[in-house]
Structure 1
């Protein structure tokens, strides 16, 4: 196939992407103990840029030295030393012609390893469902977090703002706010995790308020010419089957609200991007995001087959595709697709970190 859609150009904000392939954000726990980026990470990200991906989204980066860190050896953008450590990584990616976007992630109540504190915070004192990911160093149920005070909320908003400015200083082309997979922003959106009775709880609009405030404050800080996106999902790392209560109706409320905010794109992730997301016969998550927000959409979820991805773009359900496990197995996926080469199958024994001792289904929710 010629993959005319996959290999067409697209402009996000003031940056032109040479194709529609994006590396999905994937937790790697390969940073230094103090959160600095390193040579291992430089080689990891540079490989995708060399492999033809037009855009690379970083793993989730923690934004402050309080409650945001989710995993030990997760990289941060919480201070100046973190910023400096990212500069050679960013330069290596951009030197190969790819744009590089920093994903900013506050783990909230889903944190399972924080060098700064043993406590966790969340919208309400409700523990996430399921168990911590042993693959990422956790074990057993999540602890019950402390309900966030007004000051905690202000601190979290400021953390996103300051880390976005550090990302800009480090040379990143943009920032993606992590509002998916059960992390802090998603905890505010999730009905059973958010039992607040103030302006941040109750209705969908109230539960989205923190999203909107963070988006607008980050945009005000970084200016108009820095790419700003958000990632969103229904499922979580430890509750992959979760669905929004009102299904497609709630999706319309959410994406319409996000479409009116100062975003350049929405990045949606689902178990399978081509499946109906809200029940039989409903829209896919990507189509809902695109139609209701009127913004460019990155779709994620088992799109590691070039023909399938091409057809998905051709049907106008998304504008870009992000690859996780398929990119891990094929860091040069775009270059291979362009010349019709066979792709390698994902094999966690060969592809993931050496300490990986886990069944594949236990990590799929994080790596799709």
Structure 2
């Protein structure tokens, strides 16, 4: 099977059909208005990936409430009518290019670099320091306050309300962000969830908020609207983290999100890429395990701009789709390049010379052409 054949053949998730197995991974570009409203620049940015042939776009994480969920300055939200109207413009631009797009929904929890005081499952200070370039706050994280049960229920409702707004804006679905050390992953992780109520203790209870969100989003949106989940072992603050009990933790996590109604599982892999962090610490391949255990469509992630590896992942039925992030920024037409055999531009962190926003990239690109 050639590189083209596996990656470029069509596929489905639920009732949605996709032209190929190549997914744009969600990447925070901090390009919204200060109040979180998506911009015309963002509409053009996402339309470019649809025009470039990606079968599915996952738009960057949108914060879900105006209290504590925002991660960064100029992050898009989906809380107000203005936010919804801005995202509708993005979706319409993508649809004009015959693209499919879903929206990631996120709550920062303890790792917010925006709110004055963060709140989390437990008052555990995150390791490491805030991400450079994402402001407005920088330096070490503070110790967060502890969420009350009423706070947690309000967060669940905020995710559901955002999912309903996403459907109204025309998205094909949402991805619930339970990965990379953000709030829902903080609940999942024993080191950051020290609670002794129904949202802490056993892994099943630590997953309760995520599974409640998934099931309620399914109940409150139409049957054709996709509701998926992003998971990871590694965290932005703990790059070499693995689920403590290996495959047994994976069994509980994958089973729980499937039972809650997730349409797909997107397993993010950070340090070391797919071959490292989509493997349990006991050695088992986790995307293949998720597929066989749940029967859900699985999106693999991590260094999969290596087209030979990406093709192998699909051809060997280790996953159903592959998502590509940083490499896509410099290759918005990556699927068309794969189809034609054209070389890819190599990703370089130099592209963030002027910042991580779309406008900063355009400035750098113009400088390269000069």
TM-score tier after normalising by the smaller chain length: over 0.9
In the alignment, the residues of structure 1 paired with residue 47 and residue 19 of structure 2 have an alpha-carbon distance, to the nearest angstrom, of 17
Unaligned segments of structure 2, at least 5 residues: 358-370
Deviation at 1:288, TM superposition (A): 2.6
Instruction: Report how far residue 251 of structure 1 moved.
Output: 0.8
Residue in structure 2 matched with residue 259 of structure 1 by the alignment: 258
Q: Which residue of 2 aligns with 1:136?
A: 134
Deviation at 1:8, TM superposition (A): 1.1
CA displacement, residues 187-230 of structure 1 (integer Å, 9 cap, x when unaligned): 00000000000011111111111111111111111121101100
The equivalent residue for 2:177 is 178
- Aligned residue pair count: 352
- Where 2:28 maps in the other structure, the secondary structure is coil
Shift, 1:34, TM fit = 0.5
Question: Unaligned regions of 5+ residues in structure 1, if any?
Answer: 358-368
- Choose the corresponding residue for 2:117, options 116, 119, 133: 119
Q: How far, CA to CA, are the matches of 1:297 and 1:355 in structure 2?
A: 32
Task: Compute the displacement of 1:258 (Å).
Answer: 1.6
CA contact 2:43–2:89 (8 Å) conserved in 1: yes
Report the Cα offset of residue 347 of structure 1: 1.3
Shift in alpha-carbon separation, 1:9–1:353, aligned structure 2, 3 A: farther
Aligned match of 2:334: 333
Q: Is this contact kept in 1: 2:214–2:257, CA < 8 A?
A: no
Does residue 279 of structure 1 match 2:277?
Answer: no
2:243 corresponds in structure 1 to: 244
Moved over 4 A (4+): none
RMSD: 1.4
Stretch deviating more after TM superposition (255-264 or 165-174): 255-264
In the alignment, is the contact (CA less than 8 A) between 1:3 and 1:307 conserved in 2? no
Contact 1:173 1:227 in 2 (8 A): yes
Q: CA deviation at 1:353?
A: 6.9
Shift in Å at residue 355 of structure 1? 2.3
Residue 354 in structure 1 maps to residue 358 in structure 2: no
Do the aligned partners of 2:265 and 2:297 also contact (CA within 8 Å) in 1?
Answer: yes
Look up the match of 1:61: 62
- Assess if the C-alpha contact under 8 Å between 1:161 and 1:217 holds in 2: yes
1:190-269 map, 5 Å: 190-269=189-268
Q: Is the 8 A contact 1:103 1:176 kept in 2?
A: yes
SS of 1:321's partner is strand
- State whether residues 174 and 227 of structure 1, in contact with CA within 8 Å, keep that contact through their aligned partners in structure 2: yes
